């Protein structure tokens, strides 16, 4: 990295080849897999078909059908959204001279942040609205870290990151 700087080349802080002192990939808890979502949708369809059986072929069945189909479509949309939201990740990497965070949204959009770890300020706030609100501040910006994690997971991440930063600063 230093050789590239001496040659006047632009340095990409996110494309380092050397091994970081700490590397963490955060993902939201996904309690239902894609296959599980298919099973839930199939069971719901079977369950919603049961009330149609006694009135099959009557005007009542045709009256109920749009509402049952609407309920299935709404369930399909919710399950699909759940699976897509599970693609969200945050990658935190820490080197002696650099800390980077890359957040990849479920939509594929990417947000990046980097700073010198010596000047980074790690804060864990116990606010009224959000319990254990974890932020990193440095390089003129403050970012939230692990917003999708539980308060206990944010506390654990804070402790691990604080210990890693303390080791690098000594």
- Helical H segments across the chain, by residue range: 2-6, 34-49, 59-85, 151-169
Does residue 17 surpass a pLDDT of 70? yes
Question: What are the tokens at 152?
Answer: 């206990």
The answer to whether 16 and 23 are in contact (CB under 8 A) is no
Residue 30: partners with Cβ closer than 8 Å, 6 or more residues away: 82, 83, 86
State if pTM tops 0.75.
Answer: no
Render pLDDT for 73-117 as a digit per residue (tens, 0 to 9): 999 999 988 888 888 999 999 999 999 999 999 888 999 999 999
10 Å CB burial of residue 121 (0-12, 13-18, 19+) is: exposed
Q: Where are the domains of the chain?
A: 34-85, 89-169
Separation CA 166–CA 87 (nearest Å): 31
Topology of domain 89-169, CATH = PH-domain like (2.30.29)
Render pLDDT for 30-81 as a digit per residue (tens, 0 to 9): 888 888 989 999 999 999 999 888 998 899 989 999 999 999 999 999 998 8
pLDDT band at 29 (very low <50, low <70, confident <90, very high): confident
pLDDT band at 3 (very low <50, low <70, confident <90, very high): low
The answer to whether 131 and 170 are in contact (CB under 8 A) is no
């Amino acid at each position: 990295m230093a050789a590239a700087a001496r040659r006047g080349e632009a340095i990409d802080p996110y494309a380092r080849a050397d091994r970081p002192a700490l590397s963490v990939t955060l993902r939201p808890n996904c309690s239902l897999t894609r296959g599980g979502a298919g099973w839930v949708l199939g069971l719901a369809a079977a369950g919603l078909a049961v009330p149609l059986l006694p009135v099959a072929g009557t005007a009542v069945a045709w009256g109920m059908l749009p509402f049952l189909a609407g309920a299935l479509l709404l369930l399909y949309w919710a399950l699909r959204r759940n699976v897509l939201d599970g693609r969200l990740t945050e990658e935190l990497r820490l080197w002696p001279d650099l800390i980077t965070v890359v957040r990849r949204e479920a939509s594929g959009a990417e947000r990046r942040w980097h700073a010198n770890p010596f000047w980074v300020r790690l804060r864990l706030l116990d606010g009224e609205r959000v319990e254990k609100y974890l932020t990193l501040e440095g390089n003129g910006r403050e970012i939230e870290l692990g917003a999708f994690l539980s308060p206990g997971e944010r506390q654990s991440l804070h402790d691990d990151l604080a210990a890693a930063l303390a080791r690098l600063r000594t």
